[in-house]
Every structure is written in C-alpha cells, then in structure tokens.
Amino acid sequence: MQKVHKRIDYTIDIPDYGAHMDIDQLQRHMKDMGSHFFDADTMRFFRSRCDYHVYAGPDGWYFVTSEKHQSYDGRINEPRLYTVRRMSVVTRDNGTQDLDLFELEGFQPYRTLKTARKRAEYYAKKGAAICPKCRLRLMLACTECVRAGKNGGKDEA
C-alpha cells in the first residue's frame, strides 16, 4: 500500500499499482481526495456513466466513462461516446500528493464500449505516458503542446 498525502493532515491508503481495484473503490478514493468527478449531480449533468471494468496497470488504474451530449429541449441528441481514463497518484509542485484522472487519446474518441475497453486493457498492460505539460493526452507526440511551444518543441515522455 502506498500512502497518499493530499495535505499534511490528511492521508489515505491507496493500493500499489498493479493491485486489483473495483470501480466502487476507485470512486471512493477520488471522493476521499476531494474530487467531485463521480458525484451523482456531476454524473447526471453530463449524462455520464462509468463502466464497471477497472484494469490495474503499472502506472495506475484504467477505466472507461461515457457521456451523452443531449439538450433538455431535445434539439441536440448526439450518440453516447466513450473515453478511456487513468487514475494515478501525482506529486504536485508543492510536494503534496493527490489522485488525478487523465484522459487518454482525448475526450470521447470511441464509438463503442467494447473498443474503449480493449484500449483500456491495452494501456493497463503497457502503461501510458502522459504529457507533463497539458496532462491530458497520450504522449506519443503531444502536437498541441509542441505547437503552443510549451515544451520547446521537444516531446517528453
């Protein structure tokens, strides 16, 4: 077990990377660290769902969420799309540790749950580098950061 210290006076126990965790445990850990990502109101507002499969990897826990863009008046009714996410421990600039969620390959790139699950399982086996600047993209070549000059035109893993 690793201890995660969000503040000096607050600590929670997180399993070591690679250890099994179910979606309820993952959600509880995020809530314990102060995240509102899995709050019922937040999930309802974004018409978000969380798949029950969690894949333990060498650098965090991978899972799938889906959201449906739909307006209350019915003029917008787009299909439900899927995102692969990773929960992992991060150390902030001030030395505190926190749990964070990362999107891999952007927001809602998958049309089916089956495809998203396969990608989450793949990343759990291989790991996934996250761009240290934008913190949201799979770091094959973070073109947005390179274009913005955030890393001097160099890709960082």
The residue extents of the domains of the chain are: 2-126
Beta strands, E only, 29-93: 48-57, 60-67, 81-91
Beta bridge partners of residue 155, listed in sequence order: none
Q: What pLDDT digit, counting tens, does each position of 43-101 carry?
A: 998 889 999 999 999 999 999 999 988 777 778 788 899 999 999 988 777 777 888 88
| Residue 8 pLDDT | 52
d(CA 23, CA 13) in angstroms, rounded, equals: 16
Q: Give the span between the Cα atoms of 72 and 85, in whole angstroms.
A: 27
Pick the range with the lowest mean pLDDT from 55-59, 80-84, 114-118, 129-133: 129-133
Please give the pLDDT value at position 148. 62
pLDDT at residue number 116: 96
Q: Is the model more confident about 127 or about 86?
A: 86
What pLDDT does 72 receive? Answer: 73
Q: What is the pLDDT of residue 138?
A: 57
pTM score, two decimals? Answer: 0.78
Rounded CA Rg of the chain: 16
pLDDT in tens, 6-26: 555 567 888 888 899 999 999
pLDDT at 125: 92
- Apex 36 CA angle, 32 and 40, nearest 5: 105
Alpha-helical runs (H) found in the chain: 23-32, 40-45, 113-126, 143-148
